[in-house]
Structure 1
C-alpha cells in the first residue's frame, strides 16, 4: 500500500434508493477493475466523458488513471461488492483550481452516486488547498450538468465552441450544506423504509427445533399474517412450521427483500454474500457471538458490517430482537417477541434485545399501540439516527420513543432531533447516567461527558429525557392522544379530596400552576363529572385538566367515562389536554378511548394513570416541551461567517506551523478577530513594574497571580488599587502570601458591581465542541454548577444556557444583587459558539473570568489549546455512515 494513501477518505455511503456503496481513493491495483467497469459502459456514457467514441482504454490510460498522487491528481471510486460502479477525479490546473470529470455505470445511474462522489471529492480538494472546480460538459449531458448545478455551491457557466464550461466555488454555503443534509435524510429514510416494508422475507436458520431462534421468528411472522411470502431456509429439512423450506437463499424461486439470519455467528459472513447475490436489500442478524463476546467477536462484527455495506445492504443487529411494522398493508413481526402491540402512533427504538420483549409486552398491556419497532442490538449499522430520519417522514408515527444504551454519533443525533422535535416529540430513556460507559459489543464511543451535560444537550435539541421506562410510556400515551398544553395552568376535577391534594402538590413540585381543585364528592356521577370538566376546559386560566375518578364503591364506570370523553371532545375553545386517574388503572382504557384508525385509540382518547402524581409528572414534561416548541427559533442555529473567520483560521494555522500540537496560547488575538476584546494584562516582576503598568492601563487596577489557575484560589487577588502606594503595599502583601517565586500581574479594574462568570469550550471526540457556562464564584465552582450546549449556539441556545445554572438568579437582580447586562453575556456566548464551530483545531477555549455588570461584559482572561483534529469531527463534511475497522 502506498504510504501516501489517504485512508481517512474511505467511507460507506447510503445512496438515494436506500442501498449502500463504498467510496475510496483509486489504487494502482484497481487496473483490472477499471477495465471491467469501462467495458460495461454504454457508448453514450463514453461519448459524454471523452467527447467522442472511445471503445477501450489503452494500457497507458489505465496506468495514468489508476496512479495518482492524492494531492494534485485525485480519483475516488464507488464500489458495490467487488465491482467498481463509478469514478470521479480531479487534475490540478492552477494554484487553487482543478478540472473534474466523472463516470457512473449505466445500470447504477439515477441512484445518487455522482452526487455523493462530488461531495467527497470536494472535501478532498479543500483539504489539498483547491478552491475551484472546472468541468467541461457537452450540452447534451444534462445529467452531469444537473449534478453540478444541484450541489448547492456557487456555480457559473459559459458556452464556448460547443462545450459548456462550469465553474464551482467549493466554499461551503448554506445551500450546499442544506443540500447535503436533505440528500442524507432522504437516503437514510429510504434505507429504513426498505427494511420495514419488505415484500418478502427469508428466515435463514429456521429449523424444526421447538423454541429455536429461527423457528420462533418464522412462527411470529406467520402469526402476524405477514402480507408477503415467507421463505424458511435450512440446508437439511424440507419444511418448517408447515411452510416449504429451501436449502439456500439463492435456491428460493422468488425475490427476497429482507433476510433474517439466525445461524451461528461463524456462518453469518458467508450468508451475507449469498444474500447479496440473491438481491436481498436488508438483513436482520438476531444471532449472538459478535461484539458482545470480546475482541474476536468485535472483529467478526466489523467484517459483517463492512461486507454488507460493500454489497449494498443495511444491517439491523447483530444480537438483536428484530423489527416490526403494524401497518395493515405489511403486518411484519420479524422479532423474537410473540406479543406485538396493535396499530398505534408511536415509533419505538430499543438497543436492548432482551429488554425489548418486556417493553413490547408493556406497551400492549397499556393499549397504546405502535407504528413500528426496531431493536438494534449491538447497533453495528442501523442506529437510532437512521430511525429518526425515517420516522420524521412516516405519517403513521406521531411520537418517537428511544431507549438508548449508547450513541454512535451524538452530534448528528442532536442535529436531527433539533429539527424533528419541532414537529414530533422525541422521548428518550438514556442509561449509563452514572458511568457514561458503553455496553460491550456496541459500535459506539464513550461520551466522556457528565450526565448533566448530556441532559443539557437533550434540552437544546428539544428532546424529552425521562428517568425510566414507566415515565416514557406515561408520557407517550399523553403525547400520542392529547394536544400539547398551551401553558402550565392545571385544573383538577375529582371525587376525592386526598387525591386532589396530591395532584396539587405534585403540580407545585413540578413547576406547574394548579388552580383550586373542584371536589365533586364521593357520590358524583356522569352528569357532575361531565359538567365540571366542561366548565374547567372553558376557563381561560386553565391550560390542562387532571380528572380523578376513584369511587369508594364500584360506580357507573362506563357512563362516567363516556361523559368525560364527550366533554373533552365537545370543548370548542383552544385544544387542552385531559388526563385521568380512572380507578387507578393504567393505559388507554377502552371506555376512555375514541375510535381511531384501524380500531385503535384515536386522538381525543383520555390516558389514565395509576396515581395523580404520575399524570402530573407526564403533564409537566409535555408543558416544558410545548414551551420549547413555541420559543422563537427553537430549532434553528444561527450561523454566519464573519469577516474574521478566514483570518482566524490563518492565525491558527500559523500558530501550529508544521506541528500537530497541542499548543497553549493566549486567546486574545484570536478572539479579537471575532470582535471580542480581552482586557490586557501585564506581568509585574517588581512593584515598580506594577506601577508602570497601572499608569499605562489607567487606575484603579487589580493585582493578582499571573498563573490563571493560581488566580482562581481565594486570597490571590487584590482589587480596587487606586494609586501607587496602595499598589506597592498590595504587591508586598501578596508576595508574602504567595511566596517571592510566584509571578504577579496587573490588570485594569472593571467597574463594580459585577458578577464573575466562566465560559469554556472543549472539543469532545464524540459530540464535537461543547460550550459550558457557569458563575465564577468559588461556591459555584465547588458545586460544579455549569450548563452545556453544543456549538454553534443560536440566540435561544445562549439565553437558555445562561438560565440553566442554579446560580442564574444572581444575574437577574435577586438576593440583593443588582441586575446585570445579560444580553451582552448572551451575545458573547453566541460568538464563542461560532469560534468553536469554525476552528476545528480549537481543542480548548477558556474565558475566565468574564465579568458581567450593568455596563456590559469584560473578558479578563482567555487561553486556548490548539491542536490538529484527531480525525474528522463527528458531524461535518460529506455524507458517510459510521466507520468500522478499515480493510486495506
Structure 2
C-alpha cells in the first residue's frame, strides 16, 4: 500500500490511515484480530501497526500490548474486534489516547431494541465529545481499492484489486449491510466496472452516509456512488451531500429497503433502522439529484450504464431487434415506465428505408428480421441510425442468443456503431438460455457496450437512467418565489377554516366568494352579495369533523332556506361546542369540476413535502397521489400530475375541455413555498381543490401548526 498524506476529513483518515491499532488481537486461527492483521500484511500496509490483546506476548514478531493505555498518542485508525459489551470502555480508552477514527465490528446495538440503542448512544456520545469518529457498529469494515487496504474482519480471500495510480471514474459502494457490500462489489467487478471503495457503514453511530458522501464527492478516484440503505439517519446532511455529488458531476444511485411494513420490520432487526416514509425519501433524494432504484439488480445495472455513459440521456429509447415479437414485447415493457419511444425522424426513416428491402419499413422499434444472418453490417447500420436520431437518447438492441461466434459477430458490428457515441448503447440477448460467455462480456466491457441476458430487465434499468436524467435537469432548476411577504404574517387562529382560507387567498390560491357571518342578517347580506345558491358551514376550532357533525349545508337556494340553515348550525351544532361557534361561513356554491387535493406536511426528520392527487373521498379510497419536494418548480409539478393513474381526468374528458393543470401546479408550488417559509406550519391540506378548464378553487382548507396540534375544518 502506498501511503498518502492524511487529510483532515475524518473519512479520509479512516480510509487512508498511516497508523493502525488492532484491539482484540488473538493468535487463535479464525479470530477476527488475526484476520485483520493478515489482510494488512497481504496488502503491504507499511504504516505502524499496534496490537492490543488480553494475552499479551508476541505474534509474528510483533509485540501484543495488554492495555489500550499503552498505545502511542494519535493513532489514525483502531480496528475494534471486541464483543459489544466491551466496546464502550474500549472507545473511551481509545479516545483518551487521541485515536482519531475507529471501526466497531460488533453487532448487538440498536438492532436489538431499547437496550442496544442505549449502548449505541453511549459510544456515539463518547466519540462526539472526544472528536473521534467511528464506522459501525454492526459492520464488516471496508475495502480501499485506491491504495490497496482491506479492513474486513472476515477470513480468507485474495488481495483486492487495486486501481492504477491516478485512475478516475470508479464507483464507490456504501452499504448498511456487509453482505450487500460484497454482493454489489462482486456484481460490478463481473461487469468490469472499477470500484474505488467498498464501505460497510453498519448502524452509523458516528459516521453517517452524509459523511461518506461528502468525502466521496471530492475524491479524485471516484466517479459515482452506489448505495444500499436501510435508514438515513441524517436526512438534511444526506441531501446536502447528494447535491454536492451532483454539482461535482458524480452520480448517486441508491436502493432503500423497507418499502413495505414487513420490510421495515426486517431492516429494524438488521441494523436498528427506524420505519421510514419511503415516498418522502424518494421524492427528496430524487430532487437532490439521486437515482433511486427499487432492486439490487437495477442498482448494479444502472451503475454500469452510468459508469460507461456518465451523461444522463435525454429523449427516448430506440429499439432494434431481429425478432418482430420483441417489438411488441418492448413496447409493453416500456409502457408503464414513463419513458418515450419516439417515432423516427423523417431523415432517419428515409435513411433506413433505403437500407432495408422494399417489403420492410423503418419504425421504432425497428425489426431487421433475419437479414442480419446474411448481411451482418445491418447490425451496425441499424444501431448507428438510431443513435443519430436526435429524439433518441439511448438504444437497446434485442438479439436472439445463438452461439458465441454469431453473437461475437453481432457485437463487433455494434461496437463499430458505437465509436465516438455518447448515448447509452445496450444489447439484450433474447432467450436467456445460456450464461453470457466471459469472452463476450469482456469484449462488450472493453468497448463500453452494455450486455445483458435479460432485455426486459435492461429496459427497466434504462428507464431508471432516463428518470435520473430528468432528476438532474430538475435539480438544476430553482423554484421561483410566488408569495408576497405580507401574506406570511398570520397566527394560529388560521386553524379555523374561514381563517385558513384567508391564508390561502393571501398566497394567491382562489377560494369561493363569501365570508364569516356571526348573525343571520350578516349571512343573508353575504349571500345577496355573492349570489345564490350558497353553502353554509359551522366554524369553530373545536369542531374537528364538520360534515359528520351536521355542520355543512349545501345548495341553499334562497333567503328562507339560509335562515333555516343558519339556525340549524348556530343553535344545533353550536350547542354541542363549549363557547359556541365563531360563526357560519357562507360561500357561493362552486361550479362542477374535478375534485383534486393539494396538501403538505412537515415530516419529523425530512421536513416539508407536498402531496397532489385525486381528491374528495377518492384520496382515501384510491391513494392516487404524488409526493413532491416543497421546492419543486411548476413545470416539474405539471409533469408529476401527468403521472397520476387518474391523469386522464385532467385532460379533455367526455366532452369537457382539459382542466387548467398549470393552475393546479401553481397551487402546489405556493403551498410548498409557504411550508418552506413558515417552519411553524405542521400541515396544510386543500381537499377538495376544485379544478375546471378555467382554473381552481380551494373548497376546503385545513391548517395546523407544529406547537398547537390539529386544527379544524
Provide the TM-score with structure 2 as the length reference.
0.80
- CA displacement 1:451-501 (0-9 Å, x = unmatched): 444443344334322222112111111111125464453333444555565
- Partner of 1:770: helix, strand, or coil? strand
Structure 1 residues 200-279: aligned runs within 5 Å? 200-226=19-45, 228-240=47-59, 245-248=64-67, 251=70, 256-279=75-98
Which residue number in structure 1 is paired with residue 467 of structure 2?
A: 624
Q: In 2 relative to 1, CA 468–608 (structure 1 residues): closer, same or farther, beyond 3 Å?
A: same
Q: In 2 relative to 1, CA 323–641 (structure 1 residues): closer, same or farther, beyond 3 Å?
A: farther
- CA displacement 1:536-574 (0-9 Å, x = unmatched): 323445332223444434425555434432331244xxx
Structure 2 counterpart of 1:856, from 666, 681, 695: 695
Displacement after TM superposition at 1:408 (Å): 0.9
CA contact (8 A) 1:841 1:866 kept: yes
Q: In 2 relative to 1, CA 358–541 (structure 1 residues): closer, same or farther, beyond 3 Å?
A: closer
- CA displacement 1:694-724 (0-9 Å, x = unmatched): 11433342356766844499996634x5544
CA contact (8 A) 1:761 1:771 kept: yes
Displacement after TM superposition at 1:378 (Å): 1.4
Q: d(CA) in 1 for partners of 2:232 and 2:194?
A: 26
Q: d(CA) in 1 for partners of 2:46 and 2:638?
A: 51
Structure 1 counterpart of 2:250, from 424, 436, 441: 424
Q: In 2 relative to 1, CA 687–588 (structure 1 residues): closer, same or farther, beyond 3 Å?
A: farther
Q: In 2 relative to 1, CA 865–526 (structure 1 residues): closer, same or farther, beyond 3 Å?
A: same
Displacement after TM superposition at 1:286 (Å): 0.6
Which residue number in structure 2 is paired with residue 776 of structure 1?
A: 615
Structure 1 counterpart of 2:16, from 197, 208, 213: 197
Moved more, 456-465 or 828-837: 456-465
Q: d(CA) in 2 for partners of 1:194 and 1:502?
A: 51
Provide the TM-score with structure 1 as the length reference.
0.65
1:472 aligns with 2:302: no
Which residue number in structure 2 is paired with residue 349 of structure 1?
A: 174
Q: In 2 relative to 1, CA 291–410 (structure 1 residues): closer, same or farther, beyond 3 Å?
A: same
Which residue number in structure 2 is paired with residue 718 of structure 1?
A: 554
Which residue number in structure 1 is paired with residue 455 of structure 2?
A: 612
Moved more, 438-447 or 391-400: 438-447
Q: d(CA) in 2 for partners of 1:250 and 1:521?
A: 77
1:333 aligns with 2:186: no
For structure 1, the residue ranges without an aligned partner over 5 or more in a row are 1-16, 20-189, 596-600, 657-661, 871-888
Which residue number in structure 1 is paired with residue 193 of structure 2?
A: 368
Structure 1 residues 807-826: aligned runs within 5 Å? 807-826=646-665
Displacement after TM superposition at 1:768 (Å): 1.9
Displacement after TM superposition at 1:194 (Å): 2.1
Q: In 2 relative to 1, CA 705–776 (structure 1 residues): closer, same or farther, beyond 3 Å?
A: farther
1:460 aligns with 2:295: no
- Partner of 1:543: helix, strand, or coil? strand
CA contact (8 A) 1:325 1:331 kept: yes
- Partner of 1:393: helix, strand, or coil? coil
1:506 aligns with 2:333: yes
Displacement after TM superposition at 1:411 (Å): 4.1
Which residue number in structure 1 is paired with residue 418 of structure 2?
A: 568
Moved more, 745-754 or 362-371: 745-754
Q: In 2 relative to 1, CA 524–780 (structure 1 residues): closer, same or farther, beyond 3 Å?
A: farther
CA contact (8 A) 1:586 1:609 kept: no
- Partner of 2:33: helix, strand, or coil? helix
- Partner of 1:769: helix, strand, or coil? strand
- CA displacement 1:429-452 (0-9 Å, x = unmatched): 1111112556148576533x4x44
1:439 aligns with 2:439: no
Q: d(CA) in 2 for partners of 1:588 and 1:242?
A: 47
Q: In 2 relative to 1, CA 587–293 (structure 1 residues): closer, same or farther, beyond 3 Å?
A: farther
Which residue number in structure 1 is paired with residue 534 of structure 2?
A: 701
- Partner of 1:398: helix, strand, or coil? strand
- CA displacement 1:833-859 (0-9 Å, x = unmatched): 222223232222222333333443333
Q: In 2 relative to 1, CA 366–202 (structure 1 residues): closer, same or farther, beyond 3 Å?
A: farther
Q: In 2 relative to 1, CA 361–222 (structure 1 residues): closer, same or farther, beyond 3 Å?
A: farther
- CA displacement 1:281-315 (0-9 Å, x = unmatched): 21111122322334333222111111122221111
Q: In 2 relative to 1, CA 536–827 (structure 1 residues): closer, same or farther, beyond 3 Å?
A: closer
Q: In 2 relative to 1, CA 519–204 (structure 1 residues): closer, same or farther, beyond 3 Å?
A: farther
Structure 1 residues 678-757: aligned runs within 5 Å? 678-679=511-512, 691-703=524-536, 709-711=545-547, 718-719=554-555, 723-724=558-559, 747-749=586-588, 752-757=591-596
CA contact (8 A) 1:705 1:745 kept: yes
Which residue number in structure 2 is paired with residue 103 of structure 1?
A: none
Which residue number in structure 1 is paired with residue 428 of structure 2?
A: 581
- Partner of 2:451: helix, strand, or coil? coil
CA contact (8 A) 1:322 1:375 kept: yes
Which residue number in structure 2 is paired with residue 552 of structure 1?
A: 402
Which residue number in structure 2 is paired with residue 387 of structure 1?
A: 212
Q: d(CA) in 2 for partners of 1:834 and 1:304?
A: 39
Moved more, 240-249 or 460-469: 240-249
Q: In 2 relative to 1, CA 554–762 (structure 1 residues): closer, same or farther, beyond 3 Å?
A: closer
Q: d(CA) in 1 for partners of 2:415 and 2:33?
A: 45
- Partner of 2:85: helix, strand, or coil? helix
Structure 1 counterpart of 2:318, from 488, 491, 500: 491
Moved more, 672-681 or 848-857: 672-681
- Partner of 2:608: helix, strand, or coil? strand
- Partner of 2:419: helix, strand, or coil? helix
Which residue number in structure 1 is paired with residue 359 of structure 2?
A: none
RMSD between aligned residues: 4.1
Q: How many residues align?
A: 659
CA contact (8 A) 2:144 2:150 kept: yes
Q: In 2 relative to 1, CA 501–522 (structure 1 residues): closer, same or farther, beyond 3 Å?
A: farther
Which residue number in structure 2 is paired with residue 396 of structure 1?
A: 221
Q: In 2 relative to 1, CA 813–424 (structure 1 residues): closer, same or farther, beyond 3 Å?
A: farther
CA contact (8 A) 1:261 1:284 kept: yes
CA contact (8 A) 1:638 1:793 kept: no
Q: d(CA) in 1 for partners of 2:607 and 2:437?
A: 41
Displacement after TM superposition at 1:380 (Å): 1.2
Q: In 2 relative to 1, CA 640–252 (structure 1 residues): closer, same or farther, beyond 3 Å?
A: farther
Q: d(CA) in 2 for partners of 1:664 and 1:842?
A: 15
- CA displacement 1:151-208 (0-9 Å, x = unmatched): xxxxxxxxxxxxxxxxxxxxxxxxxxxxxxxxxxxxxxx2222222222322222322
